[in-house]
């Protein structure tokens, strides 16, 4: 009954419904259906299982791991371990002082505060009694997390890495004390007292996990790839498992007393004799596993039904390159550049349907850095070297040109298809008037410290250059530069962006952003996040669709303003890396990151609710209710597969009145409310399009 848990806020016993979207959210365009890696996975039965991921996402399956639905919790921390009590009740821990509980299969969430800063391993014996680790102590609850008792194992332990309780009284722990310490302990009275079982005599024995098949047979294993040990008498004696020697083990799980599996790095080990001997097969990266039958091993990413001979991959990705930058020339057509990896060349990807599909071209260079288009045909890619690439046919071909400078060029800016500026690592400014074919030297920026960080021209005469502590400006096309702003030594100035000639933004190292409204003469400082002083926006990506609406983001912190930077609302794309962002409308923003990550904000999803986590067998559009209605009506629909979904309202003449949903939705059952207060009485139609499915129904508004 191994359990683990992960995480979440500073709230105690607060019930939160997770599937009501009250703000724009992010959907994955690549990989599909998502780009999350899992930390832990555990099943309640042969069908229902849960997995933890980073950034507040729990995954759930109801068909034995063949497909997984994403449950977006209100948390944004990294989840760690799970403890699944039954198909509806589970607990999860994270790098926070509270942990997560759900009793209805992830529809609603309860946060249980403990007062300890870091929760890790977790094991619930039943719906009420559970144990979890918090640094060097163990917390116990007997009332489902309402209260906790602190238990103290033997000695002074640095961190308890794993626990496994066989029942409410008998449990085991491992810690990472290291050489000369008792790193396996046991309790037989519910954690009140602990006694030593195993003393480290070699540095290699530093266990990270413990797992018992039954009251006698158990394993202590390590990720460090040295000695993994086994007991057959409840921990009194331990022996080295020779077949797992020098193998780093992520987890061990048994189907019955004889058949079990151990996941290693790119390997799956199988035992059919209770763990005495093991045979290995090559495998994809597995992490922690769940075993559902003698041959079925499941993770949320891959699974096998024949003991690892073959694997089914649940995640599809057209690229795993680190994506560095992106640019859209209109609402549908955009480009992304990806770094070369493993001796491969860089690539540029193009979409003409809002990111649903992407075509690719090679760029004959390993590294790429920045991407800019000046019109539908002409675009530029910098390489972080002495050359760049240009296309004049919408990305069909890319030709390499030299900047004409011996120094490295990271940054350039084109104000039209012909005229552009670049800055070298030696602060030299170059200009081209023939679309980059030739470059001539203009000047050298003096004053300030450090290498140039960015260059941006708002028109032919006026441009800006950032160095580590200073902002420089030219008003004569780059011939001369003056310092218009000096920052304190604690700041680092990098990216700069101007949505209008006189209005510019510059992210700061702490949780602030600078803004000018007078061509850089003066700068005001605005706080982006009052709640999190650890947010670092140094070098953050920034883009505005107009003078009021824009995004700023770095790593997993993304913020949106709709009032010119006076206030910022935190958005959580729930991905670990963010290398570039670009807005195509006030509602739509794309971001790219490492490992092929592409996400997009959804449009028109206010008030849409996912009903539970059931995956329907087929698409369906239900009759709206009530019908007739005044003025609000509810529309329910089923999405059988992850799809681009559109739900539109039409009047009696077939004219489009409003779009309620225009989004990529995961499979599930949804409902949304339409408020027709601003419309006259009459007959209306609503049409659902999802993939190849299309259906329309009638409803009547009576006022």
Domain at 609-701: CATH code: 2.60.40.2550
Percent of the chain with pLDDT over 70: 91
Whether the bond into 626 is cis, omega within 30 of 0: yes
pLDDT at 55 over 90: no
Asked if 324 contacts 368 with a C-beta cutoff of 8 angstroms, the reply is yes
Decide: helix, strand or coil at residue 554. Answer: strand
Dump pLDDT digits (tens) for 105-132. 988 889 899 999 889 999 999 999 999 9
Residue 223's pLDDT is what?
85
SS (HEC) of 565-615: CCCCEEECCCCCCCCEEEECCCCCEEEECHHHCEEEECECCCCCEECCCCC
Tokens of 119: 């929760």
Q: Which CATH superfamily is domain 1-16+34-151 in?
A: TolB, C-terminal domain (2.120.10.30)
Asked if 298 contacts 288 with a C-beta cutoff of 8 angstroms, the reply is no
Nearby residues of 173 by Cβ (< 8 Å), 6 or more positions away: 133, 138, 153, 160, 162, 163, 184, 185, 186, 194, 210
Measure the CA–CA gap between 668 and 665, rounded to whole angstroms. 8
Measure the CA–CA gap between 665 and 691, rounded to whole angstroms. 11
Taking Cα atoms as reference points, which of 210, 208, 205, 212 lies closest to residue 181? 205
- Residue 366's pLDDT band (cuts 50, 70, 90): confident
Taking Cα atoms as reference points, which of 50, 84, 54 lies closest to residue 65? 50
- Give the chain's mean pLDDT: 87
Long-range contact pairs involving 59-65 (C-beta distance under 8 Å, separation at least 24): 59/300, 60/105, 60/106, 60/613, 61/300, 62/613, 62/614, 62/615, 63/615, 64/292, 64/296, 64/298, 65/290, 65/292, 65/296, 65/298, 65/299, 65/300, 65/303
pLDDT at 496 over 90: yes
Whether the bond into 631 is cis, omega within 30 of 0: yes
Dump pLDDT digits (tens) for 367-413. 898 999 999 999 999 988 888 999 999 999 999 998 876 778 878 89
Handedness of CA 79, 80, 84, 89 (dihedral sign): negative
Dump pLDDT digits (tens) for 463-476. 999 998 999 999 99
Residue 533's pLDDT is what?
55
Measure the CA–CA gap between 229 and 478, rounded to whole angstroms. 69
Residue 194's pLDDT is what?
93
Nearby residues of 440 by Cβ (< 8 Å), 6 or more positions away: 404, 430, 431, 432
Nearby residues of 242 by Cβ (< 8 Å), 6 or more positions away: none
Residue 585's pLDDT is what?
87
Dump pLDDT digits (tens) for 233-287. 999 999 999 999 888 899 999 999 999 999 999 999 999 999 999 999 999 999 9
pLDDT at 660 over 60: yes
- Residue 162's pLDDT band (cuts 50, 70, 90): very high
Residue 465's pLDDT is what?
95
Where do the domains of the chain lie? 1-16+34-151, 609-701
Give the mean model confidence (pLDDT) for residues 200-227: 82
* Per-residue CA distances from 532 to 11, 529, 632 (Å): 17, 6, 39
């Amino acid at each position: 009954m191994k359990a683990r848990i992960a995480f979440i806020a500073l709230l105690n016993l607060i019930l939160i419904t997770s599937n009501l979207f009250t703000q724009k959210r992010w959907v994955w365009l690549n990989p599909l259906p998502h780009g999350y890696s899992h930390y832990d996975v555990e099943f309640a039965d042969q069908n229902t299982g849960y997995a933890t991921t980073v950034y507040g996402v729990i995954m759930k399956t109801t068909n034995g791991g063949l497909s997984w639905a994403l449950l977006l919790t209100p948390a944004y921390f990294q989840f760690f371990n799970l403890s699944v009590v039954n198909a509806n009740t589970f607990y999860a821990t994270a790098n926070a002082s509270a942990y997560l509980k759900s009793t209805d299969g992830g529809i609603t969430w309860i946060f249980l505060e403990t007062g300890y800063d870091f929760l890790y391993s977790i094991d619930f014996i039943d719906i009420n009694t559970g144990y979890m680790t918090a640094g060097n102590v163990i917390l116990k609850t007997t009332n489902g997390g309402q209260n906790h008792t602190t238990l103290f194992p033997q000695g002074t332990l640095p961190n308890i890495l794993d626990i496994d309780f066989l029942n409410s009284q008998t449990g085991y722990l491992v810690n990472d004390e290291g050489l000369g310490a008792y790193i396996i302990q046991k309790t037989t009275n519910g954690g009140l007292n602990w006694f030593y079982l195993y003393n480290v005599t070699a540095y290699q024995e530093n266990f990270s996990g413990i797992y018992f098949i039954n009251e006698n047979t158990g394993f202590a294993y390590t990720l460090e790839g040295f000695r993994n040990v086994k007991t057959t008498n409840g921990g009194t004696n331990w022996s080295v498992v020779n077949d797992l020697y020098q193998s780093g083990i992520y987890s061990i799980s048994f189907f019955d007393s004889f058949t079990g599996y151990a996941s290693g790095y790119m390997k799956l080990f199988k035992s059919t004799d209770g763990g005495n001997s093991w045979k290995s097969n090559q495998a994809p990266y597995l992490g922690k596993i769940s075993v559902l039958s003698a041959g079925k091993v499941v993770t949320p990413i891959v699974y096998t039904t024949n003991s690892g001979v073959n694997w089914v991959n649940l995640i599809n990705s057209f690229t795993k390159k680190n994506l560095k930058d992106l640019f859209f020339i209109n609402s549908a057509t955009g480009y992304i550049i990806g770094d070369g990896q493993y001796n491969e060349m860089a690539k540029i990807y193009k979409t003409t349907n809002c990111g649903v599909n992407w075509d690719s071209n090679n760029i004959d260079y390993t590294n790429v850095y920045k991407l800019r288009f000046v019109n539908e045909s002409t675009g530029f890619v910098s390489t972080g070297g002495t050359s760049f690439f240009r296309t004049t046919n919408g990305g069909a071909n890319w030709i390499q040109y030299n900047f004409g400078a011996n120094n490295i060029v990271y940054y350039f800016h084109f104000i039209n298809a012909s005229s552009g500026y670049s800055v070298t690592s030696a602060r030299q400014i170059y200009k081209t008037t023939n679309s980059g074919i030739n470059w001539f030297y203009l000047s050298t920026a003096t004053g300030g410290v450090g290498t140039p960080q960015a260059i941006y021209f708002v028109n032919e005469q006026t441009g800006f250059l950032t160095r580590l502590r200073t902002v420089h400006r030219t008003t004569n096309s780059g011939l001369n530069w003056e310092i218009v702003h000096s920052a304190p030594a604690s700041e680092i100035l990098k990216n700069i962006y101007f949505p209008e000639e006189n209005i510019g933004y510059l992210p700061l190292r702490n949780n602030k952003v600078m803004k000018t409204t007078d061509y850089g003469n003066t700068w005001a400082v605005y706080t982006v996040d009052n709640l999190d002083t650890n947010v670092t926006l140094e070098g953050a990506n920034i883009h505005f669709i107009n003078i009021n609406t824009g995004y700023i983001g770095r790593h997993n912190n993304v913020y949106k303003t709709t009032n010119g930077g006076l206030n910022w609302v935190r958005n959580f794309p729930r991905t670990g890396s963010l290398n570039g962002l670009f807005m195509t409308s006030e509602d739509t923003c794309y971001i790219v990151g490492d490992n092929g990550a592409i996400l997009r904000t959804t449009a028109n999803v206010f008030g849409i609710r996912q009903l539970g986590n059931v995956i329907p067998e087929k698409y369906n559009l239900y009759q709206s209710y009530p019908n007739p209605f005044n003025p609000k009506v509810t529309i329910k629909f089923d999405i059988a597969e992850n799809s681009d979904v559109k739900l539109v309202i039409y009047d009696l003449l077939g004219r489009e009145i409003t779009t309620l949903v225009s989004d990529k939705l995961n499979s599930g059952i949804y409902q949304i409310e339409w408020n027709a207060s601003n419309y006259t009485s009459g007959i209306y139609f609503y049409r659902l399009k999802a993939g190849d499915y299309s259906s329309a129904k009638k409803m009547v508004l009576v006022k």
